[in-house]
Amino acid sequence: MPQRPSPTTRLAYFYDVPGTVPGTLQAAASAASTQLDLIDYNADTVMQLSPATPEDCAAYLDTTSVSWINVRGLGHAATLQELGQVFTLHPLVLEDLVNVPQRPKVENYGDQLVIVTQMVTYLPQQNRLVHEQISFVLSQHYLLTVQEEPDYDCFEPIRTRIQQNRGVIRRMGAAYLTYALLDALVDGFFPALEAYGDRLESLEDEVVSHPSEKTLHQIYRLKQELANLRHTVWLQRETLASLLRDNDEFMGQDLDVYLRDCYDHGVQLLDIVESYRDRCSGLMDIYLSAISNRMNEVMKTLTVISTIFIPLTFIAGIYGMNFNPEASPYNMPELNWYWGYVAVWVVMGAIAAGLMYFFWRRGWFRNLSR
């Protein structure tokens, strides 16, 4: 059976059964049902159809307006195959769109530009990230986007801009729409990084005040998540760099300034992730130092207690030797004293009090009370 990882992790990658025919679609049993949304617009009008069918999409492919077809969910292979025929997608392109996750990339197919990338959505209620693949098929007058998960989306502001005719998006072509969606993808990483920053600050306070084994596990988990996020951001930046470098025929030189801005955001994301990784490594060092300091305090406490009892044990050991005082006047004559027992207790108490006063003057008890 083909393996498909959860959208919350990208440590494993999808693979087909060895010997599978290239272009074979492998929709996972757990994949969400497929739904099509169509938005067709120009400078004057906008039309939205949801849900749409592949036949509805075919009617808008030859118009001069911009058509945005968004596919949500990969669970219905027949619909995806029909879409492949409507948009004349190469079988390997359709395979990359459906068999997720793929490595982010940009490929030129002559009359179509295929972009495969990742989208990250932060869920504050569940305090977790959802990674999913999103693919773009750009042509002159249409843009086909394919989302792995139908429930998570950072494109709503773009839909609002189209509906309300805000900015220049309605006066621009499909390439500008592609840039706007890619910019929304990149900006979607910032809420996730803000959440990671809050977690780091919380862990820093916990490491300093009361570190525990649970703290160590949280630091290690956060370090792994940041490593995965760094990998995603790195590939996202490389995708944007490829668009800037090699695909002027689709994106156009007029969009270079916009793409450079988007690329700068990707670089900024990478810098933030790297700084968070450094802080996470520093947290590990602080945790080890805190545990070592706590062990030193424990050893100091035990040392104080042992030091107080060492002379007391010495005295008790002497009077436990049971020499016969009648055999010699030098054999513990104090055993015959009237106040001998009390005197021993007074001496032992004075020694203990003197040692405690000495340690107090040295400041040891102030350290132990923290």
How, if at all, do strands 35-41 and 46-52 pair?
A: antiparallel
The predicted structure's pLDDT at residue 21: 62
Check: CB of residue 68 under 8 Å from CB of residue 138: no
pLDDT per position as a tens digit, 275-326: 999 998 888 888 888 788 778 877 887 888 888 888 888 888 887 777 777 8
User: What's the pLDDT band for 145 if we cut at 50, 70, 90?
Assistant: very high
Give Cα separations from 240 to 43, 105, 235, 246, 251 (angstroms). Answer: 27, 9, 9, 10, 11
Q: Give the contacts of 121 (CB within 8 A, at least 6 positions apart).
A: 129, 130, 132, 152, 153, 154, 188, 192
Domain parsing of the chain, residue ranges:
1-187, 295-368
Residue 12 has pLDDT above 50, yes or no: no
Express each pLDDT in 334-353 by its tens digit: 878 888 888 888 988 898 88
Please state, in angstroms and rounded to a whole number, the distance separating the CA atoms of residues 72 and 145. 9
Q: How confident is the model at residue 100 (pLDDT cuts 50, 70, 90)?
A: confident
Using the predicted structure, report yes or no on whether residue 107 has a pLDDT greater than 60: yes
The band of 22, judged by pLDDT with boundaries at 50, 70 and 90, is low
CATH of 1-187, one of 3.30.460.20, 3.30.465.10, 1.10.10.10, 2.40.30.10: 3.30.460.20
Tell me: the pLDDT tens digits for 152-195?
778 889 999 999 999 889 999 899 999 999 999 999 899 889 88
pLDDT winner (highest mean) among 67-71, 211-215, 315-319, 352-356: 67-71
Q: What is the mean pLDDT of the chain?
A: 83
Task: Give me 147's structure tokens.
Answer: 């989302």
Q: How far apart are CA 97 and CA 175, in angstroms?
A: 19
pTM metric for this prediction: 0.75
222 φ, ψ to 5°?
A: -65, -40
